Amino acid sequence: MLFHLLDDPWVHASPAVEAGADSPRDGQAVPDVGAGELLLDAHRFKDLVVDLPTQKPAIFRQVLLPIVVDALGRPSDAAQWAAMFRAGKFSAEQREKLTAYFDQHHARFRLFDADDPFGQVAGLRTAKGEAKGSALLVATAATGNNVPLFSSRTEGDPPPLTPAQAARWLLHTHCWDTAAIKTGAVGDPQVKKGKTTGNPTGSLGQLGVVMPVGRTVYETLLLNIPYGPPLLSDDLPQWRRRSAEGDLEDTLSCATPAWQTRTSRGLLDVWTWQSRRIRLLPQQRPDGPWVTRVIVAAGDRLATVPDHEPHTAWIIDSAGARAKKTSTRTTAAAVARPRRHQPGKAAWRGLQALLAVDWEQSDATATRSGFHTSVLLGQLNEVRDRLPATYPLQVELTGIAYGNQSAVVEDLFFDAIPLPLTALDADGILYGCVLEAADQAEKLATAVNHLSADLRRAAGSDPIPWDKGQRPGDTLLHALDPLMRRLLAGLRQVGEDFDATERGLLAWEHKAAAETWAVAEQVLSTAAPGTFTGRTVTQGSKEHTYRLSTAERSFRRRLDDVLARRAAERKAARTAPSPEPTDGEASSLTPEG
């Protein structure tokens, strides 16, 4: 029963569109390839096509990226990284090194090997010889307390997985598995009463993953490899830490049921972190092997998320900010922790954190937390002068929201936004422009919410609470979403052209105003008749009168304050002198609307 991750097809990879070639048609089959072919010909593939967005960073981190770095080493500096990026594909020499690496470690990539299966522990078993259904690997399947609302299967009907599917979900489990109690494995000295408790989520479950994506798989690989000095000698991928003997603290082995809590040794170690001890139990059928039963036990635990973790942005907590949150005394040093994504909130609404490339500018204050972008986006800021200013960079954000003590998957976050390279320059034109546009969208939503609140007060009721129900500002942000993405994509093409940038922002303001008025008119159309006369409310020693006319006037003023370019253009049009009438024409004045 053989299946090999380097040789056998298991990754869906869409072909890259070559110059002059026809674009792939909708519905066109996406080929499956092995990791070996995918890496050697990475320039020929556009992207990975996955069953669930969270699989993509798992495949890159657990297999593709560590193979490239372990085989070729990482670029030593920005110049070497830029030279590799401009090459567009692996050189003949690099392909030879990759091929030699495949040959040297070929036996380590067998998925069902009896002695050393990839990413698993051979012979892993429980004291009672039990195994659970394959749904334990599949984040969208029903198992235990993790029961998706619209799941078509029950725990007693586990989905049969092909070897390719099993491989993808195996990697996903190491990265995103839920926390809490895990099955106790024979040979694990930390098992108590047949189980282990206190297990954290998989290594990526504690992050808000930020992953830059290029035009091809090759470019995406380079965009996700931080350059720097050579890696430490004990920083190895998991397939090179498979010793069955010796002291676990020395070997760092992940091939036995025993596990430990420790710090990461470096980039390769954290990428291939084995947060679980797993064994796939395939069954041979006439049409090939299928996986329906698995064992998932406790694995290594990260003592702390290391600062060399490249795929997350950071929140910087000063001592004052932590004390304000916890009401306890804290140490004076600032603490960095991963910034997680907020489900339901578009990625562009967090642009300020993604563009925070300068530690000093984004540092925490005495009472407020700061933030810093990911290592990879910070690196892109350092090399942006070596890349085309109009490079079509995409940034994908991925995360999982857990519930009930992180024991169930509650929600999944995925978003992708176009990001202009020049926006990473804090002193450049686009940096302020994209942040201004994102801030305008938030302020427009607030303006619509204020309009709704004023009208509700005028009718004698209370405003919609910020944490209950859907406010009209949420509807507006949804309507502005495609406009913001279109603006970001357009700004990628202008570089540092100030005039083109201003034209783009003015067009954005006009379209944003139209969408805002569309939502505002819905709010105004539902106003109760009593809002015309209004209502006077006493707050302390002051009286406030709320009525429809004052609410609308206040909304118009806020709209002009937020969309200053549009307001200035409209004002200039109103104050421009009328053209001199020609013979036979009479001048006329039209009242302002």
Q: ∠ at Cα 13 (12, 17), nearest 5°?
A: 150
Identify the bridge partners of residue 132 per DSSP, sorted by sequence position: 294
Question: Residue 488: enclosing H or E segment and its boundaries?
Answer: helix 472-491
Look-up: residue for tokens 């690997």? 137
Question: Residue 408: enclosing H or E segment and its boundaries?
Answer: strand 408-418
pLDDT at 436: 95
The beta strands (E) that lie in 439-586 are given as 535-539, 542-546
Can you tell me the distance from the alpha carbon of 180 to that of 117, in angstroms, rounded to the nearest whole number?
A: 26
Contacts of 590 (CB under 8 A, 6+ apart): none
pLDDT in tens, 511-537: 999 999 999 999 988 888 777 777 877
**Which long-range contacts does 346-351 make (Cβ < 8 Å, 24+ apart)?**
346/415, 346/417, 346/477, 346/481, 346/484, 347/395, 347/397, 347/415, 347/416, 347/417, 348/417, 348/438, 348/481, 348/484, 348/485, 348/488, 349/438, 349/441, 349/442, 349/477, 351/434, 351/435, 351/438
Can you tell me the distance from the alpha carbon of 342 to that of 372, in angstroms, rounded to the nearest whole number?
A: 17
DSSP string over 237-306: -GGG---SSS-HHHH---SSS---EE---SHHHHHT---EEEEEEEEEETTEEEEEEEEEEE--EESS--
pLDDT in tens, 105-158: 999 999 999 999 999 999 999 999 999 999 999 987 756 555 554 555 555 667
Taken in order 273, 276, 281, 286, the sign of the CA dihedral is negative
pLDDT in tens, 44-61: 999 999 999 999 999 999
Domain boundaries, the chain: 11-302, 428-574
pLDDT in tens, 434-492: 999 999 999 999 999 999 988 888 877 778 887 777 889 999 999 999 999 999 999 99
Can you tell me the distance from the alpha carbon of 430 to that of 437, in angstroms, rounded to the nearest whole number?
A: 10
Contacts of 128 (CB under 8 A, 6+ apart): 194
pLDDT at 29: 64
Assign 551 a pLDDT band (cuts: 50, 70, 90): confident
Cα torsion at 429, 431, 434, 435 (round to 10°)?
-130
Alpha helices for 313-404 (secondary structure H): 319-326, 351-354, 359-362, 375-383
Whether residue 75 is predicted with pLDDT greater than 90 in this model: the reply is yes
Residue type at 87 in one-letter notation: A
Contact yes or no for 20/52 (Cβ under 8 A): no
Look-up: residue for tokens 């994509």? 489
Q: Environment class of residue 162 by beta-carbon count within 10 Å: exposed (0-12), middle (13-18) or buried (19+)? A: middle
Question: Residue 315: enclosing H or E segment and its boundaries?
Answer: strand 314-317
pLDDT at 20: 46
- Give the CATH fold of the 428-574 domain: Topoisomerase I; Chain A, domain 4 (1.10.132)
Q: Among the ranges 90-99, 357-366, 529-538, which has the highest mean pLDDT value?
A: 90-99
pLDDT at 366: 62
Tell me the mean pLDDT in the region 228-251: 94
- Copy the structure tokens of residue 168: 């993808």
CB neighbourhood size of 19 (10 A): 4
* Nearest residue to 381 via CA among 365, 361, 364, 399: 361
- Copy the structure tokens of residue 83: 């030279």
Half-sphere exposure of 326 (CA within 13 A, CB side): 11
Assign 593 a pLDDT band (cuts: 50, 70, 90): very low
Look-up: residue for tokens 């995925």? 414
- The residue that leads in pLDDT, 399 or 357, is 399
- Copy the structure tokens of residue 544: 């406030």
> How far is the first Cα of the chain from the last one, in angstroms, to the nearest whole number?
78
